[in-house]
């Protein structure tokens, strides 16, 4: 092997190690994770939102052709939400604008991610997996209010 080749190989490996270190740092030190396998949750078919602590909520969300339930979520700024998501029919996708929350909604499985809303505003969530003819109209909004007293949702059943 030529010397330059060895150097190139070494540098490439080193670069990938650094990237990997970044991933591990984010996972361990910053607790930024991807969804994992959820086994301690009963399957649900309707949406619910309830408060679990001073600034914490649990939201059970349902995706179906062609709406999210709830389609509008109002929360005070600073809320942390344990968000559970499932689908009632086919695959859908859920990502909240400007937030690190991105979940596939899949029938027969419950997906979960925690998200904190630390700035006020209105944030779109648009379905991002093809789910049939009206897929492009399947969307909703999270509205984060400056100092609202309580959380509420709309568009549920």
Partner 1 sequence: MSTETFRFSKSLKNLNALLIIIPMILLFVGVYGGLMQTLFRAGIIQSDPFMGGDYYKGLTIHGVLNAVVFTTFFAVALANALIPFSLKKALNSKMAWTSGILMLVGSVMAGFMMLIGEATVLYTFYPPLKAHPLFYIGLTLLVIGSWVAFASYIPMYLSWRKENPDKKTPLAVVGMLTTFIVWFIATLAVAVEILFMLLPWSLGLVDEINVMLARTLFWMFGHPLVYFWLLPAYVMYYSFMPKLADGKLFSDMAGRLVFMMFVVFSVPVGTHHQYMDPAIGSQWKLLHGVFTFAVALPSLITAFTLAASLEYAGRKRGGKGLFGWITKLPYFDKEKWFFSYLIAGLVIFIFGGISGIVNASYQMNTVVHNTAWIPGHFHLTVAGPVLLAFLGGSMYLIHQFLSKPVKMKGWTLSVPYIYTIGVFIFSWGMMRGGLLGMPRRTNTGASYANPDSVLYQPDWMPYIDISVVGGVIMFIAIVIYIVAFFATVFAKSESTEEEAVITFPISEPLHDEPSTWLRNFKPFIIITAILIILSYTPVIYDVVTSTYGGSLPYSPDSPVPLR
Q: Does 135 bind Cu ion (CB under 5 A)?
A: yes
Of 53-61, 73-81, 82-90, 143-151, the segment contacting partner 1 by CB under 8 A is 82-90
Q: Does 67 bind Cu ion (CB under 5 A)?
A: no
Binding-site string for partner 1 from residue 28 to residue 67, where x marks contact by CB under 8 A and - marks none:
----xxxxxxxx---x--------------------xxx-
Peptide bond into 119 cis (omega under 30): no
Q: Which residues pair with 103 in a beta bridge?
A: 94
Q: Which residues contact 18 (CB under 8 A, 6 or more apart)?
A: none
Q: Which residues contact 131 (CB under 8 A, 6 or more apart)?
A: 63, 65, 66, 89, 90, 91, 92, 138
Binding-site string for partner 1 from residue 130 to residue 149, where x marks contact by CB under 8 A and - marks none:
xxxx-xxx-x----------
At which residue do the structure tokens 């990237």 appear? 19
Per partner kind, with CB cut-offs from 5 to 8 A, the member of partner 1, Cu ion, none near residue 45 is: none
Task: Give dist(CA 8, CA 5) in Å, integer.
Answer: 5
The answer to whether the beta carbons of residues 109 and 68 sit under 8 Å apart is no
Q: Which residues bind partner 1 (CB under 8 A)?
A: 1-2, 4-5, 8-9, 12-13, 15-16, 19-20, 22-23, 26-27, 32-39, 43, 64-66, 85-86, 89-91, 93, 95, 97-98, 100-104, 106-112, 124, 126-133, 135-137, 139
Q: Which residues bind Cu ion (CB under 5 A)?
A: 92, 127, 131, 135, 138
């Amino acid at each position: 092997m030529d010397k330059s080749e060895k150097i190139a190989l070494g540098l490439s490996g080193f670069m990938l190690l650094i990237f990997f270190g970044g991933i591990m740092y984010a996972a361990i030190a910053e607790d930024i994770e991807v969804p994992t396998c959820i086994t301690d949750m009963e399957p649900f078919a309707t949406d619910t939102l309830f408060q679990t602590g001073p600034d914490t909520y649990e939201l059970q969300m349902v995706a179906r052709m062609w709406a999210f339930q709830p389609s509008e979520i109002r929360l005070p700024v600073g809320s942390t939400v344990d968000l559970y998501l499932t689908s009632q029919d086919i695959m859908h996708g859920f990502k909240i604008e400007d937030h690190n929350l991105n979940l596939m909604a899949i029938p027969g499985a419950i997906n979960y991610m925690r998200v904190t809303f630390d700035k006020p505003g209105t944030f779109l969530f648009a379905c991002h997996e093809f789910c049939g003819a009206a897929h492009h109209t399947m969307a909703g909004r999270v509205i984060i209010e400056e100092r609202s007293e309580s959380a509420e949702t709309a568009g549920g059943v």
